[in-house]
Amino acid sequence: MANALLNIVQKELKEMFRDPRLLIGMILVPLLIFPVMGSVIRVSMEATEASVTSVSAGFMSRDASDGNGTMAVYLYSYLEASGIHLRNTSADNLSAALEECRKNGINILIEIPSNFTECIANGSSARVKLYQMLRNYGIGEGAESSVVLSAIDRFNEYIISARLVSIFPDAKPDELLHPVVIEANSVISGEVKEVSPALVITTIMSTSMAMPVVIMILLLMAGQLAATSVAMEKEQKTLEVLLTMPINRMYLLIGKISGVIVLSIIATASYILGFTYYMSTLTSTTGVESARIDLETLGIVPDFQGYFLMLASLFLAFLAVLSLSVLLGAYTKDVRSAQALLGVLYIPILIPTLILMMAPLEILPPGMQVLIYAIPFSYPILATKALYTHEYALLYAGLIYQLVFTFVVLYIASKFFASEKILTAKIELKKKKVMVED
Amino acid sequence: MQAENAVGIKNLVKDYSAKIRAVDNISLDIKQGEIFGLIGPNGAGKTTTLRILATLLKPTSGRVTIFGMDVAKEQKKIRRIISYLPEDAGAYENLTGREYLKFIAGFFEGRKEEMVERGIRICALGERIDSKIKEYSKGMKRRLQIARALMMLPRLAILDEPTSGLDVIHAHYVRNEIKKEIKSSGATAVISSHNLLEVEFLCTRVGLISRGKLVEMGTPEELKKRYNASNLEEVFLAVVKYG
């Protein structure tokens, strides 16, 4: 009878791999959409970066002090040295100065008050005004003014250190500015590592954040595929013919699930490929890569056991979601009803993903922890976290729970497939009724 | 020597719920080699009866046997010797006609290549047998289904509305193929149809069901004589009207 099972699996695979909607939706789209998204983000980031590296500003000085030594001239030189292209404006009032900037394609105007040098000399705050003409309210505009503001911050530090050096002539200006310096270290598995905890967390988050999302998408897709596939067999009455074949009906169930698993594995590979490319595009653009640390040297390395548990829990989650979806699909009358009913299954898949992405399990209220443990789809997400924490005891218990859950659902599904309910149960969108034909 | 009963139905009742009785105490025997026609208005219980014969549904009460085997207890054995063609049965759109026949042949014991070749001969789709089923017309799909149902030489073929929705040419072809294949293989067939000319052409005996009850049975000639009718349609109208 292994031949009969093989026969069904082969048919499932042929049907799925020849369906252009599935091929495009599950394999080609992930392969293309992520690189396209990455490229689009890269282009916009590069455009933003380009606009930031060539910031221009109008400079309207009302500083009353004369001569080359005024602070306004110092500030002008400092900003120019910081890479900001300044254009002195000859206008004598604000609106004329803004109009001049606008005509010259400059978005920012820096207005130096008349008491600028005097205030700095007296040790009081000089109030410089910055005007930015907002046009598109984009990130690039925000970055433009940030460049000017941070240059002025550095100018402030320059003045402060110049003042302090007169009091502490032997001290280093940088140390004068930072009387307290903190060195944050991470303690990992009892060992002190000279790396900032924030950096470790950021690095792990950037590596592992994507995993739960990918798992969630795959579980949703696999569920959709399995339920649709069974509902399609009912709608087209191919199931009716299959049920009269001299085979164990369990094979129909296993064959359907096996076909979806094979397609899901390929879809997973396609997602991971696409997503990896997407992440690499983002990190190379944003410079996150340079801030990363080598997790291996810190001893935060996923080990074989971690990978095994992740794959095993993912496989069992797949089986659980597929068994439930096949059962849901078999209960419905047609594809449309199956897809509507499948929304019920989306909730337990989305809940653990969203919650665990936001907060670790331990800090959740007890009721919510129980809910997460009760959902069999939580465990692959918990396993991605355990890759770094190496706390596996819970996952082994989870595997047993997933196994029991899957077997129970499979048992119910096989009983359902073996009964006449597979043919007579026809849940429609808004009503449950048994349709009687002839 | 009397021919063995291919189908034995005794006091068959099928309820879908406490309020819905689809088949109400039907009893009949179908002899080996017969082509038995089941006719009746919509909702009379024809499809339910055929589905019980095809082991898809279980009787609520009564006993149904196929070549002596009980449909409620020996489904696996029965499924080896029957073939069932549901009304409007579809096929897998992304398989070719040949692949579909191979797929079905894969479930049966015996020489699968021979079955597939027989199927290809019955449907007579020519080169189109290697086209995907989604490219077939309705008539071609039905011919493929008839071929699928008859290619493994079933001892009992259960055909629900075999020519429903087909044009005259395809319907004519399908009818002829059914008659030819059933006769040449010595099989038994139970056919449900709304086309009474078709039933008269194909069937050796006819049973008329109305509201779940078997209200009339006999050869087409016997029935026509009994109701002084010139064709089965007149018999049908007389029985349904007065029955």
Residues 129-158 of B with CB under 8 A from A: 132, 148
Q: pLDDT tens, B165-203?
A: 788 888 898 899 899 999 998 999 999 998 888 898 899
Q: pLDDT tens, B39-88?
A: 988 888 999 999 999 999 999 999 999 999 999 999 999 999 999 999 98
Domain ranges of chain B: 5-89+156-242
Binary contact (A246, B16; C-beta < 8 A): no
Percent of chain A topping pLDDT 70: 91
For residues B115 and B179, the answer to whether their CB atoms sit within 8 Å is no
Overall residue count recorded for chain B in this entry: 243
Does A288 have pLDDT greater than 80? no
Question: What is the reported pTM?
Answer: 0.77
Binary contact (B47, A19; C-beta < 8 A): no
Does A207 have pLDDT greater than 90? no
Q: How far apart are CA A401 and CA A350, in angstroms?
A: 19
Does A69 have pLDDT greater than 70? no
B5-89+156-242 is a CATH 3.40.50.300 domain: yes
Binary contact (A18, B83; C-beta < 8 A): no
Buried b (16+ CB within 10 A) or exposed e, A167-198: eeeeeeeeebeeeeeeeeebebeeeebebeee
Distance from CA of A138 to the nearest CA of B (A): 48
Does A46 have pLDDT greater than 80? no
Q: What are phi and psi of A71, to 5 degrees?
A: -70, -30
Q: How many CB pairs under 8 A join A and B?
A: 91
Closest residue to B107, CB basis, from A19, A247, A438: A247
Binary contact (A18, B132; C-beta < 8 A): yes
Residue B23: closest CA among chain A residues belongs to which residue? A438
The residue-averaged pLDDT of B139-151 equals 93
Going from the C-alpha of A131 to that of each of A90, A94, A98, A154, the distances in angstroms are 17, 10, 8, 19
pLDDT at A437: 46
Q: What's the fold here for domain A50-181?
A: abc type-2 transporter like fold (3.40.1710)
Percent of chain B topping pLDDT 90: 69
Does B242 have pLDDT greater than 60? no
pLDDT band, very low/low/confident/very high, at A41 (cuts 50, 70, 90): confident
Domain ranges of chain A: 50-181, 198-434
Residues 14-43 of A with CB under 8 A from B: 14-15, 18-19
Q: What are phi and psi of B108, to 5 degrees?
A: -110, 150
CB count in 10 Å sphere of residue A68: 6
Distance from CA of A262 to the nearest CA of B (A): 18
**Quick check: A436 contacting B, CB < 8 Å?**
yes
Does A290 have pLDDT greater than 60? no
pLDDT band, very low/low/confident/very high, at B8 (cuts 50, 70, 90): very high
pLDDT at B243: 52
| E strand spans, B122-180 | 156-160
Q: How far apart are CA A423 and CA A333, in angstroms?
A: 9
- What pairs with residue A404 in β-bridges? none
For residues A370 and A352, the answer to whether their CB atoms sit within 8 Å is no
Angle, to 10 degrees, between the axis of helix A393-418 and the axis of helix A379-389?
Answer: 160
